[in-house]
Structure 1
Amino acid sequence: MKRKIAAIFAADIAGYSRLVAEDEEETLRRLASYREVVDDFIAKAGGRIFNTAGDAVLAEFPSAVDAVRCAIDIQESLRTRNMAYPPSRQMSFRIGITIGDVVERDGDLLGDGVNIAARLEGLAEVGGICVSRAVHEQVVNKLSVQFADIGAQEVKNIPTPVHAYMVAMRREDGTYATPQVKKAAAKVAAAPVWTWPLVVAVVSVTGIGVTGFLYNTKLKQTASVAATPTAAPSATPSSMSSAMPSATPTAAAAAPSPMPTQMAKAPMAPSSASAATAPIPAPSASPMSGKFSADSVPFINERVRNFLAGDYSAAGDYKAFALNVGGFTGSALNQPSEEAARNAAIEQCQKRADAAQSPRRCEIYAVGNNVVYPHGKPPMPPQPWVRHDAMIERPFASKDFPMVREPQKVRIENMFVPAAKSRSVALGPGGQYFMVLGASSADDAARRSLESCGAIAGTACMVVAIDDNFVVPIPTLFRITGFFNAASNASIVAEARGEVVRKLGDAAGWNAVAVGTSGRAGLGLKAADEQTAVNSALADCTKRDSDCHVIAIGPFTVGPIN
């Protein structure tokens, strides 16, 4: 462990839980897009993401000026993106910044500096920035920024008040908004002791009155119900569970938190929401519909697919098929009504999912021979999904799994490593991951892991491991911070991105990208090892630019050398 002084940047999405509850898939998709913006600005400003937790980001900067300038750029960029959405669906960050003495341990930063930055973020306005006095003193004469002094603020778990300033954000017309200071709730004076008997008496009388009213109301409701004719009971649905393979799908949904949707905020490794190496298709906004085809059903194994192509397709109405993104399914054939078929299929699927502690709910995919799935097809990367390359493949090791924290690495070690072949792990740009275990083939495992991971992440994922090997280059000389997309990477000057994309192309072996102060890129291609690729990229960059540094290795963006 070592101590150092750093400018700490903490960002979090305001109202994230509400946004997820209202539209989970759309929120996760936009989070990935917005995180790409945030991560790119942080990297461009010389910052380093050292921790993330769902929608939150923690980063360090070499100076307070760089941190504040980066925060302003982020807020103004995201404000423009939010204009395309109604106010209730806008996704806005709060940002807090301080300078503090922190302890670095295994790349993570700990200490009061990190805690204070997080508390300042909580004080910030939606779409705003709140900084400590130390930061204000560093930047007040260096940036054309207006501040509002909000004084000493008492914050949770910090023994002394924190003197804070709000950054005045620029409006569309060029003027500056006046920050609104959050006022603490006024403390209520304690009531005199003699008032308590009076309070008790009033509460008791009120309680008696309310109880009498509710009792009389209940009597009236009971009488009303008794006078209403009872509906005839419907026929009990007979679910045809024996007709469908009942084996539990051998898939394990996982993310950097206990829930695949990342709703929990457990600490996780730095993760970027950048796109993957190849262009990523946007998830379909419209539900899946049309005639049922077993070949088009996502998430399922081949045994279930064969059942759907045979017994299910041949059965008459009424029938239904349900699934969840973890690959759990349920079906009902020859039911007395469409509603009975729906209910039976959902019930069977949900029982299987609950028994395996799958957190994803089951939904109806097909009724009769018609697809009625409420979601679009899961976003998938272009094929081939796996490219075997002896120069970059190496034995799988859970400790080297990218973009996740230790608890997730332990889970992968306990589940993936001992599982039967064929098995695959797909990784999303937001740190989501999905394991498929004991599949019929490596191709089947890869497909299913990508489909489920893509549905959870809201964007295309990448297969990082098949059976006993990593199938993408896993950097060890640098810290992985996210997915790399040369076509949109802000560190590379715009006119050079096309050439970088073309040269990377299908280059086998280890590939590295370096950039200088002007954004001119240098490439190290088709190297036999990581160090050679890095050296070649830096040497190529220095021919065009100055102060070159490595920004990507293989499909990953990378940070400073460990």
Structure 2
Amino acid sequence: MKRKIAAIFAADIAGYSRLVAEDEEETLRRLASYREVIDDFIAKANGRIFNTAGDAVLAEFPSAVDAVRCAIDIQESLRTRNMAYPPSRQMSFRIGITIGDVVERNGDLLGDGVNIAARLEGLAEVGGICVSRAVHEQVANKLSVQFADIGEQEVKNIPTPVHAYMVAMRREDGTYSKPQLKKPASKLAAAPVWMWPLVVAVVSIVAIGVTGFLYNTKLKQTATAAVTPAATPSAAPSPTATQIAKAPMTPMAPNASAAMAPMPAPSPSASPISGKFAADSVPFINERVRNYLAGDYAAAGDYKAFALNIGGFTGSALNQANEEAARNAALDQCQKRADAAQSPRRCELYAVGNTVVYIHGKPPMPPQPWVRHDAMTERPFAPKDFPMVRDPQKVRLENMFVPAAKSRSVALGPGGQYFMVLGASSADDAARRSLESCGAIAGVACLVVAIDDNFVVPIPTLFRTTGFFNAASNASIVADARSDVVRKLADAMGWNAIAVGTAGRPGLGLKAADEQTAVNSALADCARRDSDCHVIAIGPFTVGPIN
């Protein structure tokens, strides 16, 4: 037998027995498909599967960083696959990870490290990841991941509590979930045997005393009630437990990076939309819904309401008994549609009657034209080259955007947020809706990156994209040269590149036929007025060296 320290990864399916009982053949078929995804991610992360049993997978990794990164990629990829199924038929894994001393025997691993990983998996949320304190200490400053400390947890067959952390999983809109905190374990010391008779006696005496007190109190209350009628309290009732549970939770703020960026706060200049309802001004919706609003909704009586969310899901109620009934019916219809599609956003009232009541204001939009077609820079859409997103998001684009019906569009935010619209009535409609939804998510104007089968902006391949480029505020360019760069870039078609040197003096390569030519021209132009020049932007993106 051989001992070693390893990062142990344990995963299994939540509710697997129920899934099998409902449809055994379909469940087993999908399990095989999902296992291919898991096995592939584990192999790419230098992991090794050392045991499987039914729906469970046990793997070892050379480092905790590799294990956690692999687990995140797996969960995000499987979440995308699950979107094709109703909630009751989704196949979601829980994953637990720890670092431990294990014994290797005939390729299998044994020991507390394996057992603890399995128990952490049981603590994880559905579709989530739970790690031990040792793993948290290893990865906290190495990955753009946020954790929720759930404290000491008592787990089966482990003599001492395990200090555990939940990983905050990224949602589809770029924000992060906030794991539900589990109560820390509180292990009471066992009382000596001789104390139990004393405890029983004390409890009995207290019980007798409380019973007598309550009985006497009840007699007094009954006598008082016979003389004085009960008073109706005038104070407003305190919030119920349900109301408290529904209070909004503050999102966890993830570490900033191009691929794992947080959702910025809504634009402070966006004031609530109010005034008279106009169908042409409603954001996020398709033309069919807009025609309905301009016709049936506009012509209906007073007690009506319209609700929406930023994903484009809507609900309406016409000819209701009163305003409250209209509000509730519209919100309920919208939310049911959003939940069925697993939209992460809640529905909100947009209009009550003919009055707009939407509290968020218009989403930030870029200036028109939203899309400028340029034969020199447009090329076929390839998910692997989509900028500023991680591999699981690229898989989602491959599985959803590529095969979808036209017209379709993807808009990208400066922090890596993106939103796709599929099957729109026109390319313009797809572009508008993707920009509106992406802008509402990001809090700033987004950029249309792809329409139908093509990238419609230059996509760098010689460098790594790190964000959006804004010459007017770019700190790498010396202040007195920024306005000149802005002027020269205006309406410059083709490939454009910007380079700067140690003094911040810019060099421009404009209107080139390809990326390499633009880069060479920018570096040569920079070298004429500065030293140690390097490229900082290509097209609309800031760039850095490929790692």
TM range (shorter): 0.5 to 0.7
Deviations 1:418-455 (A, max 9, x none): 10000000011111111100000000000000000100
Compared with structure 1, are the counterparts of its residues 190 and 334 closer, same or farther at alpha carbon in structure 2 (3 Å cutoff)?
closer
Contact 2:261–2:417 (CA<8 Å) still a contact in 1? no
2:139 to 107, 112, 115: 115
Shift of 1:539: 0.6
Secondary structure of the equivalent of 1:117?
A: coil
Identity %: 76
Aligned equivalents of 1:432 and 1:301: distance in 2? 21
Partner amino acid for 2:299?
A
2: CA distance between counterparts of 1:527 and 1:215? 89
SS state of the match for residue 342, structure 2?
coil
Q: Deviations over 1:184-207 (max 9, x none)?
A: xxx999788569748965996699
* SS class of match (2:459): coil
Deviations 1:437-478 (A, max 9, x none): 000000000000000010011111110000000111111111
Report the TM-score when normalising by structure 2: 0.57
Partner of 2:472: 487
**Contact 1:551/1:559 (CA < 8 Å) preserved in 2?**
yes
- Give a deviation string over 1:80-138, Cα, whole Å, max 9, x none: xxxxxxxxxxxxxxxxxxxxxxxxxxxxxxx999737359x99xxxxxxxxxxxxxxxx
Query: Greater shift after overlay, 399-408 or 443-452?
Result: 399-408
Distance 2:463 2:198 in 1: 66
SS of 2:543 mapped into structure 1: strand
Q: 1:194, 1:490 → 2: CA distance? A: 73
Once residues 197 and 315 of structure 1 are traced to their aligned partners in structure 2, the CA distance between those partners, rounded to angstroms, is 73
Change (3 A) 1:204 1:440: farther
The amino acid of 1:378's aligned partner reads P
Would the aligned equivalents of 1:426 and 1:462 in 2 still touch at CA under 8 Å?
A: yes
Using the alignment, how far apart are the partners of 2:209 and 2:254 within structure 1?
Answer: 42
Query: Greater relative contact order (Cα 8 A, min sep 6): structure 1 or 2?
Result: 1
Selected match of 1:545 from 517, 530, 544: 530
Query: Match of 1:404?
Result: 389
Aligned to 2:292: 307
Change (3 A) 1:262 1:397: farther
5 Å-filtered alignment, 1:149-160, equals: none
Counterpart among 278, 283, 301 of residue 298 in structure 1: 283
Partner of 2:448: 463
The one-character-per-residue Cα deviations of 1:396-415 (angstroms, maximum 9, x if unpaired) are 11111111111111111111
* Distance in 1 between residues matched to 2:423 and 2:387, nearest whole Å: 23
Deviations 1:16-43 (A, max 9, x none): xxxxxxxxxxxxxxxxxxxxxxxxxxxx
Structure 2 residue identity aligned to 1:290:
G
Aligned residue number for residue 376 of structure 2: 391
Distance, in Å, in 2 between the alignment partners of 1:203 and 1:118 is: 55
Pair 1:522-2:507 in alignment: yes
1:284 deviates by 3.6
What's the offset of the Cα at 1:354?
A: 0.9
Report the counterpart of residue 436 of structure 1 in structure 2: 421
Conservation of the 8 A alpha-carbon contact between 1:425 and 1:433 = yes
- 1:379 maps to which residue? 364
Partner secondary structure for residue 434 of structure 2 = helix
Which structure 1 residue ranges, 4+ long, deviate > 4 Å from structure 2? 111-114, 187-220, 261-269, 271-275
Shift of residue 541 of structure 1? 0.6
The reply on whether 1:513 has 2:513 as its aligned counterpart is no
The question of whether the paired residues in 2 share the 8 Å contact of 1:274 and 1:484 is answered with no
Q: Please give the alpha-carbon distance, in whole angstroms, between the structure 2 residues aligned to 1:195 and 1:502.
A: 89
Whether the 8 Å CA contact 1:268–1:404 is kept in 2: the answer is no
* Aligned partner letter, 1:328: F
1:445 to 430, 448, 457: 430
Say if 1:272 and 1:483, in contact at 8 Å, map to a contact too.
Answer: no
Show structure 2 runs of 5+ residues with no match. 1-68, 70-134, 147-162, 165-185, 233-249
Q: Is the 8 A contact 1:464 1:472 kept in 2?
A: yes
C-alpha displacement at 1:350, in angstroms?
A: 0.8
TM score, norm. by length of structure 1: 0.56
Q: Structure 2: how far apart are the matches of 1:210 and 1:454?
A: 65
Partner-residue secondary structure (3-state), 1:502: helix
Q: Which of 388, 399, 409 is the equivalent residue of 1:424?
A: 409
**1:289-343: CA deviation from partner (whole Å, max 9, x where unpaired):** 0111000000000000000001111112111111111101111111111111111
Return the alpha-carbon distance in structure 2 between the equivalents of residues 214 and 434 of structure 1: 64
Contact 1:424-1:445 within 8 A present in 2 as well: yes
1:512 partner SS: strand
Q: AA paired with 2:350?
A: Y
Partner of 1:487: helix, strand, or coil? Answer: helix
> Secondary structure at the residue paired with 1:526?
strand
**Residues matched between the structures, number:** 355
Amino acid at match of 1:477: L
SS class of match (2:448): strand
| Deviation, structure 1 residue 497 | 0.8
Q: What residue identity is the alignment partner of 2:525? A: D
Residues 258 and 415 in structure 2, CA contact (< 8 A), matched pair in contact too: no
Task: Kindly state the Cα deviation for residue 218 of structure 1 after the two structures are TM-superposed.
Answer: 12
Q: Which amino acid aligns with 2:418?
A: Y
